[in-house]
Structure formats: structure tokens, C-alpha cells
Structure 1
Amino acid sequence: MLVASIGGLAGVGKTALAVTAGHAAIKAGYFDGSLFIDLHGYDERPVQAGQALEAFLRALGVAHDVIPAAVEERAALYRSELATLAGQGRGLLIVADNASSADQVRLLLPGDGAHRLLITSRHTLATLNARLLDLGVLDPQAAVELLRHALLMADPTDRRATQAGAGHEELASLCGYLPLALHISAALLILEACQTVTELAQELVTAQSRLSFLDDGDRAVCASFDLSYRRLPPDHAELLRLLALNPGPDIGLGAAAVLADRPLPAVRVVLRSLVQAHLLDCVNQRWSMHDLVRDYATELAHGVSNPLQHPVTEGACQEVATEQGRSHRRLLEHYATTAASACARLGVQAAAPTPGDFAGQEEALAWLDDERPNLTGSVTAAADAGHHGIAVHLSVILYDYLTWRGYYDDLISVTTTACRSAHQSGALAAEAGAWNNLGIALSEVSRYEEAFRAYDRALDLFTSLGNDNERGKVFNGIGLALRNSGKPAEALKAHREAVSIQRAADDLREQAAALTNLSLAYQDLEDHAEACAAAEEAASIFQQLGDSANEATALCTAAFALQAWGKPEEARAACRRALTSARLGGNPLVEALTLMTCSQLDDLTAQQQIEYLMQAEAASEQANATELRAEALSGIGKAHTAEGATDQAVTHFLRAQRIFEELGLTEQAAEVSEMIAALQS
């Protein structure tokens, strides 16, 4: 290629790379000399093509009075001079630094193959027919090495360059691994020889503005970004500012369109342009900013920075703030509404999808997984912005998804925020529900003392509201926490209280749920007769309600109670009844879950277990429950291993491993891989 263009974010080191590579190429004999010009493409007065050609012609030895006035004639003479050099067997490396567009360098293209043009630009110059090289930030290790090297270059005896510890890594991370920011940080350390790397990192953490801090008097990250921002069309600049309002690290096209309140095609064009300007990155149709660019956009959005230096009245500032507030709320409502639609696809009793809705569980889970940081961040963002209703509602919406995936740390975070937000808004019922959900989440991660405090707070609030039904639900949760913390006798009392309250409230569904858990508490205490009675009563109530999924769950609970009681035939009969109930509802996911539970009976032969699991795998496939299907395949592999059928075990393990890897479930995939390795060793 005659032309190569290095593109990248401001301060990423494009010029340094071009100069270093140029010197190395000349030293290696690839070129006989070089021409260099800084086009100042992002300054207020960029170098025009005619000016660049004049500078190059002078460097080539053309007398001033011979250089034509017309740009086209200068370009022709430039190519002629290069051709003459090529005829003499001489090749030049021509470096056009800091170009802002293809038009700025088009007339500088060498007309002869002996020469090469190397361009640097903050934009991707896709129309030049050039080899395009996008330069990213440094990796963490290289960033630390740059810091150390800069300190040693200034003072070879600087002990801070060789000291061990996390200070260098933290400082490099705070600089976003951006070479310009790293060089500025090194300069600040050099200017204050008594300051440690850790102290500078701490100053950067606590600084009101990282961008203002990263200024050594000669160079400033903010000023560098200003040059890129000034060249943006107004609608592009507006979207960059708005994107800083997104609560997560990246954003999808739909959310960006909602934020901008513009059609999808129009927003895609602007996003593409911002990527071309290296102010955004795009991976898998999701757009993100470098950390320092996000800081910059945030300061723009809040009026901290005004690179255009236009006079702004107080009224205009208020209008902008109001409009941004509307955009922010519109985005938060979009996340809440779409999350509700996605979470509706997760339940075993999910309703049929409506037009524009998620088609099924797989699609819903994929969206929730992609948006999880945005969704959890939206709860905090809504609370901080005073949108308490959105914060509380979204935390409730996310409950099923976060428990489904086991993201209990996230659940604790959003429910804690919901407790605070509901309290601030005086929504006592919502606050009580949030405390109950927090108790459940804390129990799941074995933080039982904190869970009991959360449950107590929920009980107090529901009691003050006179809501006995919800009090019963809290006691049910307390019972589960007591069981899991090794206090079965206390758990039994809590579940009995829950059953009693729900009977008095005449809430059959919650009564049946409490009875199912009461059965488990009886099983812990080896009171098998009472355990079976409670589970059977729960199953009967669920049957009365037409809730075949929970009926199946209660019957599975009865099956395990019967097994522990030494009644294997009755246990298998209960499992068959559970399967009948599961299939009655026509939901393959319920059927698959029930089959997986039935396969765990202790006295099953390997073949009986395999039969259950193969049916579970087929039902999971029908339900598009891919992760559950992989678990069934893994179970089949384990059963084959137990009966010594190594080849069949490996076959099923490999299928499970492939699915786990496709889903990004690395821990499960690694576990299966270990079992395969053990069989093949």
C-alpha cells in the first residue's frame, strides 16, 4: 500500500508511533529520507493542502519563486519532484501528522510506488484507499512500564520507578492507560520529587475533576479532547453529551435512540461518525467511551466544561439542564419498561408474547445479560435523580432475573437502594417489600444476621400497615433463612406462623407456598409423616388453583419426604404424579425442571436416572432453555460415568461443554472439561 493511516483517540500516541516507526524504517534502509508536516487538523486554523504542498516543495529544494500559486499546479509539481527522486532510486517516507479529514491529505498522495505516505488522524479515514491502523490504549503492563520509563529518563536514580506495589497499577488505571495522561502523571511526579506514586494516585481519585488534574502546564488531556469536540456537528456533540447520562459502561442502539429521541437510522449514523472520530468504540453493536472521554462528556453535560467558549446565559443553562433531565428520565423509563417485558418471559407461567415483545426466554435473557450493568445502574441513577418510583419499581422488576442468574450481589445493591429510595419518598408498602427482598438476597449469600435485620424491618412496616398477608410472606422467608443457617426447629416455628397467617388471610396460594416450605422443615427434623402431609396439602391447594407448575414442585417435595421415610415406591409414584401435573400445563420448561428434580431421587438406577435426564434434555430443548439443557446433558454424562460407559459419558459431556461455552458460562464449562479429562486420562 502507498498510504497508511494511523487513527485513534486524542493522546493515544499516534504521532509518537509514526515518528518512531519512521526513524526505524529509515535506519533499516527502507527509505532514503523523509518529509514531515503537522497539519494541525483539529486547530481553529488547520494547515490547508496548498500550504502543506508549499512546505513539502521547499523541503524538496524547489525555490520559492518557482512554486505555483494554484493548489492543483503545486500538487502536479510535487508529484513531478517525487517522480524525479524515484527515477534516481530514492524513496521518501512522507508523514502527514494530525489530519482531520481525507480531503486535507488527498493532494499529498505520492504518485510513485517508491514513496509512502503515513498519516495520523483522530478520525478513521475510510475513503482514502489506505491501510487503516486503529491505535488503542496501552495494556496495563505496558502502561506501568511507560510510567517507570518516563521517571527513569528524567532521573535514573528515581527510586519510585523501581518500587513494587499497587501504586503504579492504580495510577495507570486512573489514567485509562492513555499515553498522554500517563506522560502528564509522570511529569507531575517529576515536578514533585517527594511525592509517591500512591499519593498521586490518591489525589487523582479524590480530585473533583480527573481531566482538570491531568494537566502539567504544557499538556492537558481536557484541552486535547476539546480539539476533537469542536469539530463535531451540533447533533453529534449533543449525542456525545447525552451518552454520558447512560448509567452503564456501554449502550445499545435502541437505548441510544430513546436517549436522543430520534429514529434508529439517524442515531446509527451519528454513532458511526463518533466511532470514526474515535470518541466512541463499538463492539457487537454496543457503543462505549474511554473512561476519560466519559469524564469529559459528563463535564460537558453538566456545564463544567465549555470548549466552544460561547457565552451561556443562566436561562439557557436551565433549559439545557431541563432537557437533559427529560432525556435521562426517558432512558430510565425505557430500561424499566423493556426489563419488565424481558422478565415476563422468564417465569414458567409466562404469558404469550405480544407484538414487539421478546419472542422467548433465550432472547429475553440475552437482552437482560447485555443490559445488566445499565439496569442495575439505572436503579441508583433513578434514586440519585429523585425518580424514586422508577428506582423502586425497577428493583422489583429485576428480582426474578437477578435470582435466576444468581447475581445476588447485584440484587443486594439494587434492593438496598430501593429501601432508601422508598423511605425517602414515604412509600411505606414499597419500602417494606424492598426490605423483604433484601432479606431474601442476603440469605442467599449466607449473610443471615443482616438478613434477619432486614426481615425484622419488613415485619415492622407490614405490621404498621396492617398487611397480614405480606407478614406471612416475610415469615416464610425467615423460615427459609433459619433452615439454611442450621436452625431447623426455629425454621419450623416460622413456617407454621406463615401458614397460620395465610390461612387467616384466606390466601390459598401463599398458604400452599408456606406449606411446601413447612414440609422441608419437617424433613430437616426427620418428621416424615408431617412432611408428607404438608407437601400433599400444598399440592392439593395448587391443584385447586390450577397452578400445575407449583403443584409439581409440591409433589416433588413429597417424593423426597417419602424417600427419606423409607418408602421408595411411594416416592416414585409421587414423582410420576409430579410429571403428570407438570405436563398438564403444557409448559416444557416446567416439565424439564420437574424431570431434573425427579432424576435426583437416591435409589434410582443409572438407567432410570438417564431416562429422566434424557426427557429433561428434550423438554429443555423444546422450551429453548439452553442452560438447563446443558445441565441435563452433564447429568447424563455423570450417570454414564457411574455405570462405566465412558464413550457415552464423554459424548454427552462434550455436548454440554459446547453449550456452556456458547453461553459464556466458563465455570460450568471448565467443570465439565475436568470430568472429560479424568475419563480420558
Structure 2
Amino acid sequence: MNDMNDMNGMNDSFGASAVGDARQLRLCVLGPVRAWSGERELDLGPPQQRAMLAILAMHARRTVSIDVLLGGLWEDPPARAVTVLRTYASRLRRVLETDRTRPRVLPMADNGYVLQLSAGCLDVEVLEERTAAAGRARAEGDMAAAAGLLREACELWKGDPLAGLPGPYAQAQRARLTERRLIAVQAWAEAELGAGRHAGVIGELTMWVDQHPLVEPMRELLMLALYRSGRQAEALGVFADARRTLGEELGVEPGPGLRELHQAILRAEPALAAPPAGPAAPFDTTAQKSGSTLSPPAQLPADIADFTGREELVRDLRAVLTSHGPAMPLVGVSGMGGVGKSTLAVHVAHSVRDHFPDGQLYANLRGAGSLPADPAEVLAAFLGALGVADAAIPQGTTERAALFRSRLVGRRILVLLDDARDTAQVTPLLPGTRSCAVVVTSRTWLAETPMSRRVGLEPLACEEAVRLVATIAGGPRVAAEPEAARQLARACGFLPLAVRTAASRLATRPAWRLSHMVDRLACERRRLAELTTGELAVAASFRLSYDQLSAEAARAFRMLALPDGPGVSSAAAAALLELPEQEAERLAESLTDLGLLSCPHPGRYEYHDLLRLFARQLVRQEEGPAAEKAAMERLTRHYLATVAGLYRVVRPGYPFPDLVAPVGARAGFDGPVAGLRWARQEIPAVLAVAGQVCREPGGPLAVVADLTLVLIQLIDLGMAVPELCELAGRVAEATRAAGLPHSEARARYTLLWALREMLRTRQARHEADRVITLCRQTGQTALLAPALTALALTSIRHCDDEEAVAWCDEAVTLAAQEGNRSSHAFVESMSALVDVALGRLEPALSRAERSLATFEDLGDRVGRIHMTYARATALHGLGMFEAACEGYRECLAALRALESWDRMPGVLVGLAESCRAAGRPAHAVEAAEQALVIAEEVGLEHRRANALTALGHALCDLGEHDRGQACLAEAGSGM
């Protein structure tokens, strides 16, 4: 059986009922509390929040009251404990729910919460199912089946249950589940012994006896397994050790069970004999017949003493390699150069070598080099290690492979094939019997090779990388500079080879501080040169993969590394490479297959940080500055055309897209929903590239300014506002320094509205003055009219009402003269908001109605949402609260249809206030709680503060004054 301390993150049998739904929630409590949605692990937050989830999980599908949760989390709950619970629940919903406005996984129920889980999605429930099934198999006399089921049950543990969780409930459950684990292990060992498989349990039982020396039933099972394996003296030694330990620890003698078994072993009673079991296959029948002795091959390279991290993955691979399924276990480990594939494979192979007593075979296939190993030569070496004389080894690869498979029938041999080039190289080297197991490492994915388990190896986690630095360079040095150690790991991209190289340099230079090494790695142009010592060189490892590339793939590898940000889409790759999108995607996919790119989503490609540096060095060497600048300008213009196309579908009829990009410069989106999906995925890359071009001298500043102008639609949607504000400010200063007032006006126009959205009113008012001046100088009326309304909106508390109204009247007149209906409606809508702020509610309502009619006629769904909101606000001010509520609900429905969440907190707060005014505080609480959940998800602290304020007032209206005051206090502290 596998080491029972081992368990992969999500056992194949765990969550089997969830196969039909990729979003199925699965929870583990038999170890650190963890959760998955499909294949994606969820971030469950801090320990106490996880402890709350653990309580709900252990009571799955049953209501857990607030009082029970309080008692489970705290010995003495603090004064604001209920508010803290509500916050935890909101954060958990943000992680667990697919529809955050209608909680289904974690709804409130009867002054508490209930966690709705499907059957088979909680590991502790799976444990009970497996255990019960094993009991039925045992009652029917099928001990082998019982042992298999109990093995599956035991493998569900992955450490101490509820590890690291605070609170009385976790402490009590930890003790109960630990005892439950001992019972399950004991039942497994009994079933294995009942099936006649005594030798296979000795190692496991020895470990458990060492960990729990006072558990006498475990010692009895170990004694019996040893005796049945012909190791009588060791069995009696277990009894002697038990007598000594029990006497020293407790002052008692062994119990009756141990004493009776001891006497039975001394008398060699026939009742102790094992039930029949199949004979073990000899290692080499040819050698036995000739009377010679042949030792099993043991070809594994030495395991490294400082192997660090990847504990769960090691347990997972151990479990796969030692499983007894219908097919031979075949594990593939792929990944970029330097990520630690070979180190992991060798470490795992050593950890399971005892399960393969007939030997371990190893071959370095040199797949990343220019002279990959010939499978025929590898087979000849394997056959020689298995006792086949040179003269008896056939000549052809096919014949050698057939003999190799024949030699392995019935034997338990582990084969490690390191650094494979492709499937054609690997296939002849695979055994044909399920008693063997194979580990293959490769920089490519080997998609055509059927495997039991594929691992796309990623860099280390930060703490794992820091531990590796400490192991190599010295723990005291890391303890003295913990932050520098983390910075060092980040500079190495958490790549094991890079971390090992940097730490090895430190190890040979004891006078160096870690911070000194961090400073040396800070310069990106020198970083790869610094990551070289002795035979360790990160760039050399990358070069092996690069040298395999065709000329067109090599150029793609270089050029796609140019833009900053979170990678490139296939469309962006096409712009960089000046190729059709389909051809660019083909090249990117080929780089992904070789481990030089990763593909987190279909059609999107990313570099590891160090690989990006390596590729950029190659650009400077092989392309030159002119090619680099031309590629970045192509990409910037591509983004400009795409964002302009997005603007056309999100705000149809508005003039800005036509100011910066001609119609048809890029194919448009199918509709606003498709456009917004693109924006959520691609806008971070667009913003990163715009900022990059703005920083580099000689870049196309005018193009970036135009891009900044059409990115203003993000503010309409409430998306990426702080990031856009930072970019617009940078572009504004760059265009001012370059003497480009026309472009400066466009950048400052976006900056103005971003500052207003972030409630930085004083700065927004200052920018409005500058924009108006620049627009009058450069004749940009399309920007001037709405800028005047922005000035009015930001100056309401700092000017006379008449002055604000005059600015709005001038704006409306200018927009009417421009003749663009959408722009005119927008200016009217902003003027309506000014009227609301000034208390001119009837003119505001009239303007909102006119703008709404125009937006409906143009098919502008976003404009319609804004005007429906403005109309609802005016209706609330006029005391028409029910009509206002209906307007806010209409806004919410439209936002859901657009899959746009960022504006929802503000609308929900408006709904809550109108519900309060209409005398329905319970509905107000519901709306405000939804606003809080979504505000925590989408960001901007003032949205959360507004939601807390609305919730606090509604709770007070409802009579829950303590909760209400707590929310109001929290809102005040966050503003």
C-alpha cells in the first residue's frame, strides 16, 4: 500500500459524482482545509475564515446557527464577532458562488448559514462511504476488495485533519478525526493480512507504530505480519519494545492481546499461518536455471540531499506509481528548462524503489540536445542490465523492444526515462506489463503518449524557493534577511535552477549578504549572466530548447517577448509577427508544446519571467532596435483598433472611436457581452503595453493617447479605474513634455473622469480646467462639451449653482451643434446628474428621460443603464420610492445581462436606500448585503464603505442595532 501519509490533492475517486459539472465544489478537511472548483483550487482566505468553512462543511446540508459558529471559532467571542462572521461569509461566497447576487452554495438560513454540497464532494463523507463498503466486502469474505477500499479511504488524508485551524471546534474535530484515521489504518492492515499480503504491510505498520508507540492493536498487526514473513525474531522484538515503552511511559505491562500473540508466536501455533497467496515471480529464470546469481538493476541517479518543496505532488506521484490498476502506471513530467523535472523524477523514483524489488532502470534520452539518444541503443543497455548476453540482443529496434517487454513480464521494475524528445523516442522503451511503472520527463507535453498522470511542472511556491535558498546558502543567513530571501526568490522567478544557482553563489561567498545578491539581480539586462556558477547556467538550459526551433518559431519566441504585461493573445501575436492570426497561433502553440510558453487560456500565451529576459536578449542581438520599435507600434495600433471596435459595440453612436480609428480597421465584436468578455481578459495586457510605450523614448505617443481616450469606456463600466487613472496621468505628462497638446487633451480627458470615479474631486476639478483649456486651443468640441459637465459635477460644492448650470447649458449647446445624438444624450445625462445634486429634480428627471429615449433608440445598453440609474435617483429625490426601486432593479437586470459586475454595488446601494425609504428594511438589508459581497470582489474601497453604510442603516431600521452600528463603524474606518 502507498504510504498512508500520502494523498494527492484530489483523489481520482473523490468527487466522482462531480464529473458532469466542471464547476462542482469539492472540499478537503482531512488535512489543511482546501477547496476546488473543477480543477482550480480556491483561495479560502485566512485560518479563522477556513475554520468557519470547516464547521459548515462538517455540517454539510444542515443549518449551522450563528451561536454554534461563534462557539466553534472562539472560546470567548469578541464584541464584533457577529460582524466578523458576516464578513467571513461574504468573502467565502465571493470564492464559492458562481452567482454572487443569489447565494446558492452558502445561503443564510434561520439566523445561520448552510453549506450546500453535492454527494461525494467532501472527503470525510467519501471516507465513510469507502469504510462502509469495505465492511460489506469483509462480511462477504472478499478481503482483497476490503483492503482496496480501505486503502482508498486512508489515502484521503493529507496530513493532520483541519491542520492549522484555530478554535475549539477545530481542536475537538482534529482529535476525533485523528482517532478515526488510526481505526481506518488498522482495518486496512487487518484486511491485507486477511488477503495473505503480509509482506506489503510491514513498512507501513512500522511507521505507524513509531508514530503511535502506545497503540497496542497496531503492534499486534505488525508482529503478525513479521511472523508470517518469516521474521520471527523481529516480531518478538516488537513485543519486547512494547513492554519497555509501556513500562517507561505508563508503568503497565502489555495487554492481553499482545501477550497472547507473543505466546502464540513462541509456540509457532498453526492458527497464525497466513491464508494462501500467489507466489512471487523470480527475478530472472534464465539465471536461476543456470545456477548463477544476478542482482536486480539499480540504475537510478543519486537523489539530491536538498530536495525542497512539492510535497503534495510527490505524494500524488508515489500513489500513482504504486497503484494496482488495470494498466501500467505511466507518469509524465513536462515543463520548461530548469523547472526541476529530472530532480523531481529521481526523488520520486527513490521514494518508491522498495515497491519495485526487481530493479530500477534509468536512461538519459538527451531530448533537449542536438543528439538525442537512439531508442535501439537504450534498449540494448536495458537488456544487458536484465541479464541478456550481448550476442542474444537482436539488431532491430522493434525486436529489441519485444524482447524487453517479454523480459519484464511478471516483474516489478521501475523505468525512469529522463529528458525525452518525443513520443517516437519513448514508445519502444515502455514495458508491456502492469506490474512495472514508468516515469518520463520531457520539455514537451508528449500528447500522443497515453499516461496515467501528466504533470505540467510549475516553478516553486515562494516559501518553497526560500527554503531552498536556506538549505543551500544557510538557514541563519535567510533568517537574518527574510525579505531579501523572498526578493531573491522572486528575482529568480521561483525557477529551481535559478534559485539553486543564486544560492550556490551565495554558499561559496559567505561574506555576501542576500541583499547584495538581490541588488545584482535587479538589473534585468544582467540577471541571466548573474545566474551562472560552475556547471549551473540558466541561460544555457534555455538555449537547449531554443536551438531546437525552426527559424520562424525562433523569431516568434523572440518577438512575442517584447510586450510587458500578462502575456499576449493570438491576435496580438499576429500583430507583433505581421502574420495571419491562425499562423501566429500555430507558432505560439508549437512554443507551448516545447515548454517555452505557457497557455493559461485558449488563445493566450505567457512567458516565465526569466524566459522573457532570455528572449529579449535575443531580440537585441538578432533583430535590432528598429524592428523592436516597429513591432511595438504594430501592437499598439492593433490594440487601438480593437478597443475602438469595443467602444462601437458598447456605446454605439458615440464619436470617440471615429476620432482615433477608421471603421473597419479591425473586425468588430458580435455584441457588448462578447466585447466585455474580451475586455475582462485582455485589458490588463492593453494597459501594460500602453504604459510600456509611454516609458520608452521614441514611442508612438499620439497612438497611446488615442488609445487612452477610447479606454475611457472602462470607466463607464467601472472596470480597472485605478490602473487607467495611472496610465492616463503618465500619458498626459509624456505628451505635455513632447509638445503634443492635441494628444495631451485626450489623455487628460480620460484622467479627469478616472479621478472623478475614484472620488478624487479636487484633482478632477483641476484636470477639468486643463482639459477645457486644451480643447478650446485644439478645437476638440467632442471632448469640450462633456468636459464642461465634468467641471460642473466636480465643482458643485465650490461654485454658485448658477455657474454649474451655465456650464451644463454651454455643454448641451455645443453637443447639439456637433450633431452627434449619442454625445448629445451623454451631455444631457451628465447635466441631469448635476441637476440631481443641485436639487433640481424635475429638470433632472426630464433630461434623464430624453437621454434614455435616445440611448434606447441607438441600442446603447450601457448608456441606458446609466440613465435608468439617474432617473431612479431623481425619482427617489421626488419621493417616488417604489418607482425608484423598480428603476434600480431594471439596472441590475441589465448589468447581469451584460455580465458586468463593477457597477452593481452602487446600484444595489441605491436600491437599499429606496427600500428603506419605502419602509421595507428587510429588502434593504438583502440589497446592501449583496452590494457588500460584490464590492469586496470588484474593489475600490469607497464602494465597500458605501455598501457597509447602507447595510448599517438598514440593520438599524430592522432593529439590529449592534450589527448596524458595527457596520457603520467599519464603513467610517474604511473611508
TM range, normalised to the smaller chain? 0.7 to 0.9
Choose which of 846, 849, 864 in structure 2 pairs with 1:579: 849
Describe how 1:203-602 pairs up with structure 2 within 5 A.
203-206=520-523, 208-285=525-602, 286-303=604-621, 322-347=626-651, 349-350=653-654, 356-383=667-694, 384=696, 385-402=698-715, 404-405=717-718, 407-423=720-736, 425-435=738-748, 437-438=750-751, 441=754, 445=758, 488-489=798-799, 509-510=813-814, 547-555=824-832, 557-558=834-835, 561-562=838-839, 571=841, 575=845, 578-579=848-849, 582-583=852-853, 585-587=855-857, 589-600=862-873, 601-602=876-877
Provide, for residues 498-546 of structure 1, a one-character-per-residue CA deviation record: whole Å limited to 9, x for no partner: 68xx96xxx7544899xxxxxxxxxxxxxxxxxxxxxxxxxxx999999
- SS of the residue aligned with 2:446? coil
1:112 is the counterpart of 2:433? yes
Alpha-carbon distance, 1:124 to partner: 0.6
Alignment partner, residue 41 of structure 2: none
Choose which of 340, 346, 362 in structure 2 pairs with 1:36: 362
- Which residue identity is paired with 2:373? V
- SS of the residue aligned with 1:105? helix
| CA distance, structure 2, for counterparts of residue 236 and residue 67 of structure 1 | 41
1:18 is the counterpart of 2:345? yes
Q: TM-score, normalised by structure 1?
A: 0.77
Alpha-carbon distance, 1:618 to partner: 5.4
Native 8 Å contact 1:419 1:434 kept in 2 = yes
Native 8 Å contact 2:459 2:495 kept in 1 = yes
Provide, for residues 536-562 of structure 1, a one-character-per-residue CA deviation record: whole Å limited to 9, x for no partner: xxxxx9999993454355345435544
- SS of the residue aligned with 1:554? helix
| CA distance, structure 1, for counterparts of residue 863 and residue 530 of structure 2 | 57
Q: Mean Cα displacement is larger for which, 669-678 or 170-179?
A: 669-678
Native 8 Å contact 1:403 1:411 kept in 2 = no
- SS of the residue aligned with 2:363? strand
1:59 is the counterpart of 2:385? yes
Provide, for residues 428-452 of structure 1, a one-character-per-residue CA deviation record: whole Å limited to 9, x for no partner: 3333554565455556656678768
Provide, for residues 302-350 of structure 1, a one-character-per-residue CA deviation record: whole Å limited to 9, x for no partner: 21xxxxxxxxxxxxx56x6655544333222111111111123343754
Provide, for residues 184-205 of structure 1, a one-character-per-residue CA deviation record: whole Å limited to 9, x for no partner: 1110110111212222112111
Alpha-carbon distance, 1:409 to partner: 3.7
| CA distance, structure 1, for counterparts of residue 459 and residue 782 of structure 2 | 56
Distance 1:579 1:247, change over 3 A: same
- SS of the residue aligned with 2:711? helix
Distance 1:465 1:362, change over 3 A: closer
Provide, for residues 448-491 of structure 1, a one-character-per-residue CA deviation record: whole Å limited to 9, x for no partner: 787687678768867877999989987876665555xx6x14x8
1:80 is the counterpart of 2:350? no
Distance 1:573 1:437, change over 3 A: closer
- Which residue identity is paired with 1:379? A
Distance 1:97 1:634, change over 3 A: same
Distance 1:235 1:466, change over 3 A: closer
Distance 1:48 1:603, change over 3 A: same
Choose which of 519, 524, 541 in structure 2 pairs with 1:202: 519
State how many pairs are aligned. 612
Provide, for residues 105-154 of structure 1, a one-character-per-residue CA deviation record: whole Å limited to 9, x for no partner: 211110222211211111111111123222111111222222222234xx
1:175 is the counterpart of 2:448? no
1:611 is the counterpart of 2:886? yes
- Which residue identity is paired with 1:300? L
| CA distance, structure 1, for counterparts of residue 867 and residue 768 of structure 2 | 30
Distance 1:657 1:276, change over 3 A: farther
1:191 is the counterpart of 2:461? no
**Unmatched runs of 5 consecutive residues or more in structure 2:** 1-326, 658-662, 964-975
Alignment partner, residue 6 of structure 1: 333
| CA distance, structure 1, for counterparts of residue 615 and residue 822 of structure 2 | 55
Distance 1:278 1:466, change over 3 A: closer
Distance 1:634 1:496, change over 3 A: closer
| CA distance, structure 1, for counterparts of residue 822 and residue 579 of structure 2 | 47
Alpha-carbon distance, 1:585 to partner: 5.0
| CA distance, structure 1, for counterparts of residue 375 and residue 413 of structure 2 | 19
Q: TM-score, normalised by structure 2?
A: 0.55
Identical aligned pairs, as a percentage?
A: 25
Q: Mean Cα displacement is larger for which, 93-102 or 273-282?
A: 273-282
| CA distance, structure 2, for counterparts of residue 474 and residue 122 of structure 1 | 55
| CA distance, structure 2, for counterparts of residue 71 and residue 198 of structure 1 | 54
Alpha-carbon distance, 1:215 to partner: 0.7
Provide, for residues 360-404 of structure 1, a one-character-per-residue CA deviation record: whole Å limited to 9, x for no partner: 333333323322232223323434243233223222222343564
Native 8 Å contact 2:769 2:791 kept in 1 = no
Provide, for residues 266-321 of structure 1, a one-character-per-residue CA deviation record: whole Å limited to 9, x for no partner: 33332222222111111222111111111111111221xxxxxxxxxxxxx56x66
- The structure where helix makes up a greater share of residues is 1
Native 8 Å contact 1:509 1:545 kept in 2 = no
Native 8 Å contact 2:718 2:902 kept in 1 = no
Native 8 Å contact 2:828 2:847 kept in 1 = no
Native 8 Å contact 2:563 2:692 kept in 1 = no
Describe how 1:118-157 pairs up with structure 2 within 5 A.
118-131=439-452, 132-152=454-474
Distance 1:112 1:639, change over 3 A: same
Q: Mean Cα displacement is larger for which, 93-102 or 365-374?
A: 365-374
Native 8 Å contact 1:348 1:590 kept in 2 = no
- SS of the residue aligned with 2:331? strand
| CA distance, structure 2, for counterparts of residue 40 and residue 599 of structure 1 | 69
Alpha-carbon distance, 1:211 to partner: 1.4
Native 8 Å contact 2:650 2:862 kept in 1 = no
Distance 1:598 1:480, change over 3 A: closer
Native 8 Å contact 2:812 2:824 kept in 1 = no
| CA distance, structure 2, for counterparts of residue 594 and residue 403 of structure 1 | 12
- SS of the residue aligned with 1:594? helix
Q: Mean Cα displacement is larger for which, 2-11 or 594-603?
A: 594-603
Q: Mean Cα displacement is larger for which, 170-179 or 398-407?
A: 398-407
Native 8 Å contact 2:815 2:823 kept in 1 = no
| CA distance, structure 2, for counterparts of residue 544 and residue 331 of structure 1 | 32
